[in-house]
Chain A
Amino acid sequence: MFKRLLMLVLLSAAVSFAGQRRVYVVVHLYQKMVVGGHNPPAGIFYTTDGGANWEHLGWSNIIAYSLTIDPDSNGRIMYLAAGNGVLKSTDAGETWRIMTDWHETEVSQVVIDPGNHNILYIATPYGVFKSTDAGWTWSKKNNGISPKQTGTTSSTFIGPILIDEANPNRLMIGTENGIYVSTNGAGSWKPFALKGRGVRDLVCSKSDPRIMIAGTENAGIFVSHDGGKTWSQSGNGIDSLAIYTVSFDPKDERILYAGGYDTGFMKSTDGGKTWKSFDSGLSEETIHGIAVDPDNPQDIYVATIPGGVFKSADGGKTWKYLFLDGAQVYSVMIH
């Protein structure tokens, strides 16, 4: 059955090649960006000391979404999902190559097949693309989700991609038109759940893959206990209905985290039945990414739009601003 979103697998993976966990954030753009002008560096930043000091990595003049690190590469093989396409580094971010061409653009996520790291899937607003040669060539995989088949371009606006670790040919995608499933490595897609909903994030429990959480564009959070066949709206305690990120606590999966448009940091301690929002010290309440330290789940980082990066050392109750005020930080990960 489904394992967790690969990004979350990466969060709990072994320590990085440097022997120390790094926190990476990806800056999408700055709120005051001037198109064509000199702007502050965007793209990847990382810290190795819990957020006291940050270094920039790679391209700075870029619109970027998320970073994926090959779990077997000792932190050396990185994929950056960006407006320019997929950028790949094989030397821990020192040098990069754009692996895609003009066909693939506005890539929001790169997902690695856990069984074969040469197989990659990318999420774009134009559908799913797949590579079987570590990113050198790509093919569009929209059979079953193309606007001509579904009647809406929302079905090719791809958010999360989930791979079944036990059967990597089985994938789920969250689209602006619900969840679709493929059982043949993205060769074709079928409608699966939450039709008509904009699914912005989708994760499943590591210990019990039947438990899934979906964050949606305009209907809040949904929880499934049967592998996505049926869903219930998790409304208690949720004010804002635009949810961009959901995740499980790495050590106690009854604890869930979520964030979205003007939500503050949301936490559930009962598997998603009820939620509570925390914003003490959180001057920006639109949250797009959450990363929980797998060694110490009390340490949590959030990526906000456009308030930069914040950290909590008490499981989300209180927050401290770290870095990048004015930046639309789209994602945060710990490796």
Chain B
Amino acid sequence: MKKILIYTLLILAGLPASCVVARPAEGNDFNARRQQILDYYADSIKISFNPEAPDYSRPNFDIIVAKLTAGKDVQTAIRAMDTLMAKPVGNMFYIYELMGTYLFGRKSLPPDFGDKVRDNLETSTIYRGDTENHWLQYYTGWYLAAQEWNVPRWSNGKSSEETLKEAQDYIDHWISLTTSLGQGEFNSPTYFITYVDPLVLLYQFAKDPLMRKKAEMMLEYMFADYGIENLNGCYCGAHSRDYPYIAVNPQMAQSRIFGFLYFGNTEFNPRIREAISVIFPALSSFRLPAIIRDIATDRSQPYASRQRKRVRFVIRYGPERTPPVYKYSYMTKYYCLGSMQGGILQPIQEHVWDITFATRRPYNTVFAINPYRSPKELGLFFPEEALPVYGFVAHSHGYYGNVDKWSSSSPHERTFQYCNTLIDLYDLDLNPTELWHEIDAFFPLTLNQFIVSKSGWIFGRMDSAYFAYYPLQKYCLEKDTDSIQLLGGDEGSFGIETLDKRPVDLRLRSFSTANGCVLQAGSVTEYGSFENFMRLVKKTKVVFDSKKISVKYGTINGDQLYFRYLNDRELNGKKIVLNYPLFDSKYLHSAVNSRVLKITYGNTVRTLDFNNFTVTQQTVK
């Protein structure tokens, strides 16, 4: 297994269908990008009432609003809206999308259409959902409805006055919690859009100027958060929630479409699943301050970022309701290495660490996981009975019960990262209710070079970025067999035509109980050629104690790291205490409970103060 293998890996003969991109807008002009989006959705998709038609062309609010606002196929769009309202889905997605579509599109709607929408919400009951993004959508929808019409009794049984007050109260609570202790569904390449869209609606349509201000500031907050961890639009590092097909291919993340619109650092790719969710932001008059675009795109100098977020509410089996999540990322022009401390911080879809490469190639990432499932994991977060809830989860997230999945939380993993070095340790001492006893690492076939060295290191290069992965235990490498179900995708899903059914990676499997890896990242800027990088890494020394489950490692940069599983993290002999602020980097600063975010770029400092909802920006001499 440890013989030298040199794969001259794949410059794919042609990118797969899912990576074909539309013509990029020229330059970084926001309006051009915005118009490109609006034109594409107004012109390129025809609404079909055929139930056999693909998802994206059947009546849905996003395509309806694109047509209404562009004044194209208006009668068809109105008919499509009537169709949706005739059989309302009745949940948080429905109410905010209905209100957003009505409010953006009302100039093209008949004068009495507002009465129809109001009547619809007086009778259609709305399920609130059970996650933070669900609740923000639910309360945004009700907020907009309740301020629009003074109704004595909505379908929730409450008046407009009561409903507006409750909605505002929750939105205020969410803002306060997020800016005090960090976001719960943090840094999610998938769920990012589910926060941006309702906030954009509040910014655009709240009649209360203060609510508009709050929404604007939260949008800036979220884009600053995304900005410092994105590389050409790809959301890098650790994520609270990620579908497996995005974990293995960051190029296909929904957040990337927002990178296109607001940062201009990537191309418009309408084949990204649910890319059309960008329609409300594209219609909105919200504009991102230049300073946030600057921090999102300036990769001229590497930087480290420390962050604190929140664990999803732990409803049982844990000592705290919402313990802290500690994140660390190291961003360079050619790659980003990012991680969080490990453990069960979110159910099902956690993504603990990765290296993401700056490239146009698909599958531009390397990471490892312990594929894990247990009733306890589900019981920590879901109010249903812990044992039978598995059947439901296994249906809604088909990959959950599969050992080959690529998204997973695990209580048996902990990490320690410093700059471009990561130590990832596992203690796979499972109890009988837990599965599985292995760790898996993902190495994409799209790497330019992949070398298994006699030194014990596995090396790889993607364009100008390098990595060296040192498995701590015996392993095997196998060509993977990915399936759509395993990746959490769906052929019929909105905007996406196919996911790759062919193998896209080499999978490392390792079955030892005390386990893990050392990951050393680098690039041409830091270490010159790939050969030189390999030479330097081979000089480093990994000392693994399988009894203590600890690693001593002198990094390629000469730093001494020591990490013992569930115990000490030491850098050059000094203990590292995980007690990070909400943000701590050269670009972002925010202390816990301060409710103030300071954004710095060059001499410019922009301060978002959520205590009094003021924004100040000044140039420091």
Footprint of B on A, CB under 8 Å?
28-29, 31-38, 59-63, 83-84, 87, 95-98, 101-102, 105-106, 108, 125-126, 147, 151-154, 156-157, 176, 198, 200, 217, 242, 244, 261-262, 286, 288, 305-306, 328
Contact = CB atoms under 8 A, between A and B. Distances in A.
13 contacts: A33-B395, A33-B396, A35-B91, A61-B125, A96-B157, A102-B173, A106-B315, A126-B313, A151-B319, A152-B317, A153-B316, A153-B318, A154-B317
Interface stretch (B386-394, B543-551, B554-562): B386-394
Nearest to A102: B170
A326 to B, nearest CB: 10
A167 B313 CA distance: 35
A37 B169 CA distance: 28
A108 B383 CA distance: 9
Contacts of B173: 102
B387 A153 contact: no
B90 interface: yes
B89 A147 contact: no
Contacts of A156: 315
Contact of A106 (B126, B130, B387): B130
Contact of A95 (B139, B157, B391): B157
A137 to B, nearest CB: 12
Nearest to A34: B396
A37 B58 CA distance: 14
Contacts of A60: 90, 125
Given A31-B395, A62-B127, A98 B321 contact: no
Given A36-B93, A98-B156, A328-B392, A305 B385 contact: yes
Given A63-B130, A83-B128, A200 B89 contact: no
Given A61-B91, A153-B316, A261-B387, 14 more contacts: A34-B396, A59-B125, A60-B125, A62-B127, A84-B127, A95-B157, A97-B157, A152-B316, A176-B316, A176-B317, A198-B316, A262-B387, A305-B391, A306-B391
B568 interface: no
B387 A242 contact: yes
B384 interface: yes
A37 B87 CA distance: 11
B169 A101 contact: yes
A154 B379 CA distance: 10
A38 B83 CA distance: 13
Interface of B: 87, 89-91, 93, 125-130, 135, 139, 156-158, 166, 169-170, 173, 313-321, 383-388, 391-392, 395-396
B388 A102 contact: no
A147 B127 contact: no
A29 B319 contact: no
A43 to B, nearest CB: 9
Contact of B392 (A33, A36, A37): A33
Nearest to A89: B157
* Chain B residues touching A, majority SS: loop
A285 to B, nearest CB: 11
A21 to B, nearest CB: 28
A154 B392 contact: no
5 nearest interchain CB pairs?
A97-B157, A125-B315, A157-B316, A61-B90, A102-B170
A181 B315 CA distance: 20
Contacts of B318: 152-153
Nearest to A100: B166
A153 B125 contact: no
A157 to B, nearest CB: 4
A35 B388 contact: no
A96 B153 CA distance: 11
A38 B314 contact: no
A60 B313 CA distance: 27
Contacts of B158: 97-98
A210 B156 CA distance: 42
B315 A157 contact: yes
A125 B386 CA distance: 13
A28 B313 CA distance: 21
A46 B597 CA distance: 54
B528 to A, nearest CB: 50
A81 B562 CA distance: 51
Nearest to A58: B125
B203 to A, nearest CB: 21
Contacts of A108: 383
Contacts of A97: 156-158
Contacts of B89: 36-38, 61
A222 B249 CA distance: 51
B164 to A, nearest CB: 12
